[in-house]
Amino acid sequence: MLRLPCTSVVCLSDYIDSELTFAPHVKRVAAQCFHHLRQLWTIRRALSDDNARMLVHALISNCVDYCNSILHRVAVVHLRPFQSVLNAAAWLIVRKRKFDHITPTLRDDLHWLPVDKRIEFKLCLLAFKYQHQMAPPYLASMCVQLSADTRSRQLRSAARYDLLIPRTRTASYGPRSFAVSGPTCWNSLPLQLKSASLTLQQFCDRFKTTVFS
């Protein structure tokens, strides 16, 4: 019996398609999130705002953010279902009408980053953990400080805690690997976010402040 080749595989609950668009994965997770949101709407009147926010974080935000670093440089059209999920979750928490503008609420009331910035945040967070010896060894091996590279010690970027960005052979898939995307996102941060004196919580808070400003 002739078997057709698989067009996708599952790894750590993530669907990886042959073209690395991750569109099937995003649609699948978004469908699960909308299922949970419909169930939460039925009991919303019995929940306080704090309880609603806690349930949304447990059932929705964690699903959207799980392994989202693999979505770096994915086409915006494939990320829209995740943004729709976050918008619907915000409507549920603040109990706005369906057609009310939700973007100010996401930014000013809930302090939620948009989907593309959540992905950048995850990559920068992993790079931050590397700088503070909190990253696992397999990730730490992909981050090299410019100050530790003998060819780059005299560069200004070496004094800004920048990381070495390796060259890639492919223009489409190479820059999406963590070895490239992690250092790239980290190097784009302002100097005050790359300070070695920051704690993990301070870094998270200042990253949001920088994005919102």
pLDDT, tens digit (0-9, with 9 covering 90-100), for 68-87: 999 999 999 999 999 999 99
Q: Can you give the pLDDT at residue 1? A: 59
Paired sense of beta strands 14-17 and 8-11, if any: antiparallel
The residue among 57, 81, 112 that closes a domain is 112
Q: Can you give the pLDDT at residue 158? A: 56
21 and 99 part of one domain: yes
126 and 106 part of one domain: no
108 and 157 part of one domain: no
State the chain's maximal CA–CA distance in angstroms: 62
125 and 108 part of one domain: no
Q: Which of 14-23, 65-74, 131-140, 157-166 has the lowest mean pLDDT?
A: 157-166
186 and 94 part of one domain: no
- Which structural domain, as residue segments, surrounds residue 20? 8-112
For residue 157, give both structure tokens: 């970027």
17 and 99 part of one domain: yes
The residue among 91, 112, 133 that closes a domain is 112
Taking only the tens place, the pLDDT of each residue in 29-66 is: 999 999 999 999 999 999 999 999 999 999 999 999 99
Cβ 165 vs Cβ 180: under 8 Å: yes
Confidence (pTM): 0.88
For residues 88-105, give the mean pLDDT: 86
Sign of the C-alpha dihedral computed for residues 36, 37, 40 and 41 taken in this order:
negative
137 and 92 part of one domain: no
39 and 93 part of one domain: yes
Residue 191 placed within a domain: yes
Q: Can you give the pLDDT at residue 156? A: 58
For residue 50, give both structure tokens: 């704090």
Question: Helix or strand or coil: residue 152?
Answer: coil
For residue 201, how far is the Cα from the chain centroid? 17
For residue 37, give both structure tokens: 């949101």
Q: What is the spatial distance between Cα 41 and Cα 138, in angstroms, rounded to a whole number?
A: 42
Residue 164 placed within a domain: yes
Close Cβ partners of 135 (under 8 Å, ≥ 6 residues apart)? 126, 129, 143
52 and 138 part of one domain: no
For residue 84, give both structure tokens: 């729709």
Number of structural domains found in the chain: 2
Residue 2 placed within a domain: no
The residue among 87, 112, 137 that closes a domain is 112
Residue 104 placed within a domain: yes
Residue 189: closest CA among 204, 210, 166: 210
Residue 1 placed within a domain: no
